[in-house]
Structure 1
């Protein structure tokens, strides 16, 4: 019996300093058949860095449309039964981490998983301990996306929308602990003031999604 195909989708906006570390790992995961980076209107060299990996397909969006739209574009371009979503700014990601996220779905144990940081950095650990459903590290069967509405409009609220609508379908994602994984914070990317402003915009986009559910 042949194994189901897996596509990894990485939405990225101005991540030239971070995305290579994630792609280096994905290129070594034998279970992954396709890697798609959706370069969401980046103003830096994100697209060029991603395109330097021969096994990576880069979809360039002229304007920034938000994370939800990027995930939708990547999912539509994927030729796979199972979709892996990963953020482009992860720190400490390894091949075993990715395999741990994939295994419960590939084995038929569940239709979806969500990765939870643990032991990476206190700031990101606490955030996911309080709201694990906001994690961007996910695996789900492609068929489940047909039941998720407005994903392209959700921007940073996409994880909340996915979690709530999957729950309505009776598909509660299995939590997978990602030991020693974290991600670069916005304040580190943009500086304290701009990073804080970007974080507030992200929170607003998440809160704005609540009435849609």
Structure 2
């Protein structure tokens, strides 16, 4: 069987990795140590979104990483737009800067469904994704994805106009509109640092609520539920979908 790495080399498929960061100096080094050494990633672009804690200094330690700095903090959506515009490859791998436990096999697993042609988009499902996301097997706001650059290139003006944290929900709308096939990559040993860990409890809670408010600026609450189920319907791993469908139907079937 041909490995994903060999397949990517044979087909000359290139992947640009984009990492958006704001005050992630204590965490981004561990992510870059994996990304910069991974053979499937042709370039690693870090967009430092106005950090004040030395994030840029950490990035400069990795000679193969390309650093782009915003003078002031503009939010993840704007930082992502900067990274997308700078990327040179056909595929984009989007990684959050605050991941813990990331290993090379996780990067490979995220890239493989798209490289193999099994899916058009891949999303991660981390160990500390919300319980409801783990129950249905889909995290609709996952920050770890592989998508085609052309999908986002065409919408750069719109991305620049998004709220600070509306990028994932906006991407979902594009995926649903184009009926793109989705693969979910389970990352059972990978977690994302919560804002309460970074900022302290009350500041972290306020930051989380601001993120939620931004999501609701991009789409209405009921539309979020609809979007989640539409994404779920686009999954290509039918076996897992069938198991979930059986669990969902079982009470009704029993009552009948």
> Same-fold call, TM > 0.5?
yes
Is 1:132 matched with 2:139?
yes
Contact 1:117 1:128 in 2 (8 A): no
Hey, what does 1:91 align to over in structure 2?
100
Q: Where do residues 190-201 of structure 1 align in structure 2 (5 Å cutoff)? A: 190-201=199-210
How far did residue 93 of structure 1 move?
Answer: 0.7
Of 46, 56, 62, the residue aligned with 1:53 is 62
Instruction: With the length of structure 1 as denominator, give the TM-score of the two structures.
Output: 0.92
Hey, what does 2:243 align to over in structure 1?
none
Contact 1:114 1:176 in 2 (8 A): yes
> SS of 1:108's equivalent?
coil
How far did residue 102 of structure 1 move?
Answer: 0.4
How far did residue 127 of structure 1 move?
Answer: 6.1
Of 142, 146, 161, the residue aligned with 1:153 is 161
Of 172, 178, 185, the residue aligned with 1:163 is 172
Instruction: With the length of structure 2 as denominator, give the TM-score of the two structures.
Output: 0.77
Is 1:179 matched with 2:188?
yes
4+ runs deviating over 4 angstroms: none
Q: CA 1:169–1:147 in 2, change beyond 3 Å: closer, same or farther?
A: farther
Give the paired residue count: 208
Hey, what does 2:35 align to over in structure 1?
26
State how far apart, in whole Å, the 2-side matches of 1:132 and 1:172 are. Answer: 15
Contact 2:92 2:146 in 1 (8 A): yes
Deviations along 1:53-108, one digit per CA (max 9) or x if unpaired, are: 01100000001111111111111111100100000000111100000010111112
State how far apart, in whole Å, the 2-side matches of 1:179 and 1:50 are. Answer: 27
How far did residue 173 of structure 1 move?
Answer: 2.4
Q: Higher Cα Rg: structure 1 or 2?
A: 2
Is 1:143 matched with 2:189?
no
State how far apart, in whole Å, the 2-side matches of 1:101 and 1:26 are. Answer: 12
Hey, what does 1:206 align to over in structure 2?
215
> SS of 1:35's equivalent?
strand
Higher relative contact order (CA 8 A, sep 6+): 1
Hey, what does 2:236 align to over in structure 1?
none
